[in-house]
Each structure stands twice: as C-alpha cells, then as structure tokens.
Structure 1
Amino acid sequence: MIVSILTIFLLSFYINNSNSVLAETDPLGIEAEAAILIEASTGKILYEKNADKVLGIASMSKMMTEYLLFEALAEGRVTLDQQYNVSDYVYRISQNRSLSNVPLRQDGTYSVQELYESMAIYSANGSTIALTEIIAGSETNFIKMMNDKAAELGLQDYKFYNSTGLNNKDLAGMHPEGTGPTDENVMSARATAKLAYYLLKDFPQLLETASIPKKKFREGTDDEINMDNWNWMLPGLVYQYQDVDGIKTGSTDFAGYSFTGTAERDGVRYITVVMNTDGYKARFDETRKMLDYAFSNYSIEEIYPEGYQVKDQSFLPVVKGKEKEVEIESSAPINVVLKRGEQEKDLYKAEYVLDKELLSKENELMAPIKKGTKVGQLVVSYNGTNNYGFITPEGENTLKADLVTMEDVEKANWFTLMMRGIGGFFGDIWSSVSDTIKGLF
C-alpha cells in the first residue's frame, strides 16, 4: 500500500514537473513539430519552437513558385493574359484527382491568370507545373531558379526538388532531372517564415488572390470546377478567423499537416508557420493560438520620436567653424513591437554611435557643415527576456535612426580663426601662470 502511494506521488510529481518545464520552454503549448510567429513589418520574432529543424513543407513550396511568378510579371517576362498550351507532363499530372488539381485539357489553352488562381486558391499541382514551364521552359530549369532565389533571399535549411511540394513519386516518373524518385521539398520553420516575409514585402498583391475563399475555375463552361481554398481560416470557411487573408497550406505523408498563415488587424500584420501538426484541423487550431497571442499581447509603439536627443549629448564640437558646436538629433522615429505590460524605459536603451570617419580623434567635426549631415546613428538595444531577434538581418535596422546635424555651420574666416588662435595662446599662458601662482601658496 505504501509502495503504491509512493509510486502515485512520484508519478504526479514527475508529470507536474514535466508540465512546468514544458510551460517554460514552450509558453504557448503549440502542438506542432516546429512553429514560428513574426510581426510582418519589422520581421521581429515573437515566438519559436524547433524553428531550425528541417522538415517537409509540401504545398507551402508554392510560395516560392509564387515569388518567382510575381518577379517574372514585374520584369515583363510574363503577362497575366499570356496563353499556355498544355504539355503532356502537365496534362497527366492535372488529371490525377487524388492530388489537388483542376483537370486541364490536353488540347486546351489557358491564361497565366487562370493557372495562377488555381494554384493560389486550390493548390492545383498541374497548374503549378504549367507556370514553371511558362517562366523557365521546364520544371527542371525552374527548380534551379527556386534554389538560387532561396540563396539570394538568405534562406537557410532548405532544398527544393520540385515546384509543387509533392513527393516526386507522385509525378509519374516525370520528376525534374537531377532529383530522385522519392525526393520531397524541405525547409525549416524559420526559412519558411522568411520566404513568407519577403513574399508579402515584395509582392503584397498576392493576398488579393490568396484571400479568395471560393471561386469557380472556367465558370460557365463545360470545364467549370468549384475551387474551395484549402486555407479554411479564411472568412466564410469552416475554421474562419477574423482578418486572416493568406497564405498557404501544405500536406503530404512525409510533411504532415502544415500551414503558413497571416492576418492583419488595426494596421499590424503577423505571419505564422506551423509544421507537422496532428491533423488537418490542428494546423488551424495551433495557428489560432499564435494569432490570439500576438493580437492580444503585442502592438507597435513609437518609443523614440523623430528629433530625439540623448541627454547631455545633443551637441558636437566643431573645428574652424563660425560656431564652436552644432546640435544633433535623430532623423526618424523608432517603432518597436512592444509586449503589453513592458516598460520601454526599462527594457530599451538608446545611445549614439558616431561616424568615426567624419570626426577627429577628439570627436570634433570640421567646418563647413550642412544641415542634415549624417554624423552617426541612434541605436536602440533591447534588454528584455525571450529576445528571439529578427527573421532577417535587416530587421536590426528598425532599431536604428540616422543622427543628423540641425543647422548649417559655415567655416570661419581667417581673421576669426587668427583671433581664436591668439586668444587660445594667451589663455594657455594665463592658465600656466595661474597654476604657478596657486602652487606658491
């Protein structure tokens, strides 16, 4: 009896202690193999779990396909009304209704607009491959573009083997050259969020299509098909969440159920990634947790206004100027993602970092000086806990503002400089005499 009671006590202690440790390491309790939450304008990371673990991404791969499509459109290499004749590869993949697809006719002609919408809304795999052929001539060529662009964007922990995110075994032996028959795209949650960050930053118009909950493909024709967006968090769908408008779901046997989501409310947008959740609904449940946490606990606040000056450091000495000093201030406000209850005066510190190349060894500026001359930066540092940093190196720049001069300082004429020199000479003599006299007494 005593042994049983002791066993129960120890088991209870272990469970409670384990839960305590879990709460400390994962305060949101996100039930996914990996996850990350960022604020979209700054790239500030607010939460992460196994963010650098490399996992399958399935159809979230199509975010890179979208990026390259929008880039081609922006550069005029492709147009939305451009027509495409269906290749045998695209035809065969598009006819497989066990995959997400809109069946394309073998002798059909489709616009880039139609193909893009079916990819973005319905995750149509045949349409996705068609777009790669339009942009790069073949999916094989396109895969190189995907990996090259990932490197250019500074992504780490990724590998693209096809444009769709399917396992290569689903491509009927026609997978891109140089890839294996069972290869599948992989990324980390951090890399996925970084891709989503750049996609929204560079091509925000993608949300016009990604936010469409339902649409008919080739409406009014014999080929009409209902396309329900796989992002069931969109308004009007089964797991709707206020203000969600993107971006991409993904699921394969290898990747599990994943989702890159985004929502904007009151001018603040967040990006979420969950990877390999417990089921179709779970990826939306876990996303909801992160969005609730973000919208309830964070806001973007101005903590240092334009024209801010560090106390007792608002002037720089000037050499050979009509004035002997010039006033300096920050040229732009500094906004941060602030957690509710945080006191910025306690957690944030501002300091000047002067441009040594412009200053003498005595930290003096040489006249003449123009108003608005950059002389350094106001740099803000954060001393709080759970500082996950930013999704991109550029994010640190949001904590910096140029330090500029507030007025012109003309160079003094020769007479003024001569008189200052004479004054300085006699001043030095008087100081020396004074010191000598003081020494006598």
Structure 2
Amino acid sequence: MKKKSILTMIAAVPLTAGLLFQTETDVQAVEPDLAAESAILVDADSGQVLYSNKADLILPPASMTKMMTEYLVNEAVAKGETSWDAEVNVTSKAEEISQNNALSNVPLRANRTYTVQELYEAMAIYSANGATIALAEHVAGTESDFVDMMNERAGELGMKDYEFVNSTGLNNASMDGLHPEGTEPDTENMMSARASAKLAYHLLNEYPDVLDTAGITEKTFRENGANTSMDNWNWMLPGSMYGSLDYEGVDGLKTGYTEMAGNAFTGTVEQNGTRFISVVMRTDSQTARFEETAKLYDYGFDNLSETEVVQEGQSFEDASSFPVVNGKDDAVSASAGSSLSLLLEDGDAENINTSVNINQDVLNENGELEAPVEKGTEIGTITLSGEGAPQSLSGVNETSQEVPLVLDEGVEKAGWFALTMRSVGGFFGSMWNSASSFVQGLL
C-alpha cells in the first residue's frame, strides 16, 4: 500500500467475532404491532432508535407541543432570565383562555399574580392552556414572539419536520380569535414522532429535573383561594387514579389530544438503569395511547440488551499503524479510544460492520504523521454500518454513535543528529540507486 493512499482510507471491516455478544438462538424477536399511525422508541441515553414506524410522518402533536414550552421555560430559568418563584402578571388573553372549560385549564385571574412554578406545574401536570400562554408571555413578552423562539430553538436542536404556531398545541380555531398574531386562524402545530422524540431527548438530558414535575400524579392548584384539583393526564404513572394502565418506571412525559391530532403521547420509562423515550401519534382513544406505549416498552425491556460492539483498544485491519516522519519511531499504532455498547436484539450484533474514517487534516500530503505526536491523539472515527447498525434520531440513514480512533503511543521528534544522519543516509542511498541504474543501463 502506498503511504499516500491513507489519505482516502475508509476501511469497512467486520467486527471481531470474539468481541460480540454471542447467542444460542437465531430466532428474532417480533416487533410490536401498534395501533398508531406513527411511533418511535429511543434509548434516552444514546439517542439510538430502537423501533420506528412512519416516524417522519408529519402530524399534529397537540399538547405534546408543551414540551417545547417546558424546554424554553427551563432554559430561561437556567440563564437567570426568570426564576421559579418569580411572579407572573396574567394578561387578559391568558385569563380568557383559562376560563374556557372546553379546554384543559386551571382558572386564572388577570388581577392576581402567580409564580412561574405554579404555572409550570399546571402546564406539566394538567396541560393547562391558559397557564402555558401566561408562561410564554412571561418569557418572551408575547405569545407570537414565543412562537418565534420555539421555531428557532427547534432548528438549533436539530429537529426536522415541525412547525409551531402557538405555545399550547391547541388548534388555533379553538382559541376564539386569541391565537398568536401572525399565525393563521385555522392552523395547528405540526411535528413528526421523530421530532417529538428528539425534543424529549434534549429536554430530559439538558433539564432532567423536569421529571420531578412530570411524575406528579395529582396536585391542587392554588391551595389558598380557588382550588383546582389537577390529575395528571399521564395514566401510566404508578399511583395514577387509572391504576390498570400504570407501568413500572414511567415518570413522564406529555400527552396530547385535539380532534385533528387524535390521541398522542410522548412517554419515558426507566428500569434497571435503562431509560426509553417513546412517541405514539394518532391512536384511537385516551387509553389506547398508553396501551400502545406499553407494547413498545415491553418490546424494549423483553428483547433488547446492552451489547458491546466495539472494545476500547480494539485495532482495525488496514488502520492499525501509521507512518511517522521526523520521529524517534517511524510508525505508531492506533485503536478504538473508547468502547461502544448498543441495545440490540440477540444476534443483531453479527450484522454490524465498522467503517474507519481517517481525518485527513492530521496527516501531511504524503499521508504521514509528523513528529512529535501525543498518545491519545484522535486521527479519525469508527462508525457503524451494515444491516444492524443503529439508526439516529437525526435521520433514517444516519448512525447514532461513533467512537474515536486514537494513537496508542506518543512519538517524540528525533534529535538533530539522528535527523542529519537520516538525511545523509538518504542522500547516499539516492546516489547509490542512481549509480546502480546507470550501470544497469550500460549492461
């Protein structure tokens, strides 16, 4: 192999069989048959997609929209732009929406103040729409400006297939003319199951305390004064009033319903250190969204196990050694800088290959490393390919994880004397080769 070819090296090599989780059966688990128009199941830690069905279909998310409002409220608190005990002055718009008994609400009064914490709990537990609008106005000034923030942040989070027109997930038509200025009166928020899962992924990983509120089964709003009992719409929570639907480990996240959206649910569950995020959209009933979610959780916990597919220190064919110039050593080995484990069905690891991608910027024009180089220097990445490679939340054809390819040892730069002798040796070697060629030409 010529040294220069390293610049474009992309070596696809099968994983060493001895490093894989071996199984005694080739029987594949049966994926759940869901009565939902769209669904997805994700590993909350890595973002690995474990199951999907029409996950990129754009549908109304209804009140699952409020996850973005939760995200932006938490972000504002984290930045010091507001606080949980900050007082919120309720506008006449938020008051009017909150008095609509056809919508999920706690009654608000424009002549009273409420803390951010109170309004946030009403939104997260009871899906209160007036409280949500009050929070949006508190954070951004107007709901219209808040909607701009929602769409901007969605893009920054890498979400695809979405459009926010209000902070609540209501159909604008149900807001009796009080929909955000600049949006159409007959529109509704739109988002795919994948986008909903990605939003939940960022919400849980960046602001994990959201589960402290999302997991509350019931609470009273405004204990002093007009009291409203708030029962969490998430009936999968252990201890929920709908005990037949509860599921061990469920502690969030957000339900949704409008006539156009049907019944939807973004949930999360944790058992034995493994946490899933799930989304089901457009199911037939309030209970069906939880029954279909339970099928996803059963599939995940019963059939998927953590499997190491790359070991730290593992070397790869045709990418295990790299030439070094001007160093005390003329080559250095490379290997995986960390291990990589995935949640897989038994036997799926056998279908995964690795692709080694070399970073051309660390090599010179001849495909060599130039001394000195340090141990642990990242010179490329190891990505997964093949039928069993994990799918990413970012898109169908993108893998969810990669590990660095790093140098196993450092190489110091050779001293001036050694470099001089190499130069001299190279000169006489070149002269000898030239002379040999000349003599050969005479014979």
Q: Normalising by structure 1, what TM-score? A: 0.85
Instruction: Answer yes or no: is the 8 Å Cα contact 2:393–2:400 preserved in 1.
Output: no
Letter in 2 for 1:368: P
State the secondary structure of the residue aligned to 1:411. Answer: coil
2:142 aligns with 138
1:120 aligns with 124
Residue 353 of structure 1: how far off its partner (Å): 2.4
Residue 110 of structure 1: how far off its partner (Å): 0.8
2:285 aligns with 279
Task: For 1:248-287, list aligned pairs within 5 A.
Answer: 248-287=254-293
1:12 aligns with none
Quickly say closer, same or farther: Cα 1:203–1:397, change in 2 above 3 A. Answer: farther
Is 1:317–2:317 an aligned residue pair?
no
- Structure 2 distance, partners of 1:332, 1:144, is 40
Is 1:415–2:417 an aligned residue pair?
yes
- Larger CA deviation: 230-239 vs 330-339: 330-339
* % identity of equivalent residues: 48
State the secondary structure of the residue aligned to 1:32. Answer: coil
2:112 aligns with 108
1:16 aligns with none
Task: For 1:58-97, list aligned pairs within 5 A.
Answer: 58-97=62-101
Of 228, 231, 244, the match for 2:231: 228
The structure showing larger relative contact order (alpha-carbon pairs under 8 Å, at least 6 residues apart) is 2
Taking only aligned residues, the RMSD between alpha carbons, in angstroms, comes to: 2.8
Quickly say closer, same or farther: Cα 1:148–1:352, change in 2 above 3 A. Answer: closer
- Larger CA deviation: 26-35 vs 273-282: 26-35
- Structure 2 distance, partners of 1:70, 1:394, is 30
- Structure 2 distance, partners of 1:379, 1:401, is 5
State the secondary structure of the residue aligned to 2:97. Answer: helix
2:367 aligns with 363
Q: Deviations over 1:113-151 (max 9, x none)?
A: 000001000111111111011111111221121122222
Is 1:379–2:399 an aligned residue pair?
no
- Structure 1 distance, partners of 2:415, 2:326, is 8
State the secondary structure of the residue aligned to 2:291. Answer: helix
Letter in 1 for 2:413: K
- Structure 2 distance, partners of 1:430, 1:61, is 77
Alignment length, in residue pairs?
Answer: 411
- Structure 2 distance, partners of 1:69, 1:379, is 37
1:404 aligns with 406
2:167 aligns with 163
- Larger CA deviation: 26-35 vs 266-275: 26-35
Gaps in structure 1 of 5+ consecutive residues = 1-23
- Structure 1 distance, partners of 2:161, 2:261, is 15
Instruction: Answer yes or no: is the 8 Å Cα contact 1:335–1:398 preserved in 2.
Output: no
Instruction: Answer yes or no: is the 8 Å Cα contact 1:43–1:395 preserved in 2.
Output: no
Instruction: Answer yes or no: is the 8 Å Cα contact 1:233–1:244 preserved in 2.
Output: yes
- Larger CA deviation: 85-94 vs 356-365: 356-365
Of 173, 177, 180, the match for 1:176: 180
Residue 430 of structure 1: how far off its partner (Å): 7.7
1:18 aligns with none
Instruction: Answer yes or no: is the 8 Å Cα contact 1:379–1:399 preserved in 2.
Output: no
2:334 aligns with 328
Residue 202 of structure 1: how far off its partner (Å): 1.8
- Structure 1 distance, partners of 2:159, 2:190, is 12
Instruction: Answer yes or no: is the 8 Å Cα contact 2:392–2:399 preserved in 1.
Output: no
Following TM superposition, the consecutive aligned residue runs of length 4 or more in structure 1 with deviations greater than 4 angstroms are 393-398, 421-438
Quickly say closer, same or farther: Cα 1:362–1:179, change in 2 above 3 A. Answer: closer
Q: Deviations over 1:273-297 (max 9, x none)?
A: 1111111111001111111111112
- Larger CA deviation: 408-417 vs 226-235: 408-417
Gaps in structure 2 of 5+ consecutive residues = 1-27
Is 1:303–2:309 an aligned residue pair?
yes
Q: Normalising by structure 2, what TM-score? A: 0.85
State the secondary structure of the residue aligned to 1:377. Answer: strand
Residue 360 of structure 1: how far off its partner (Å): 3.6
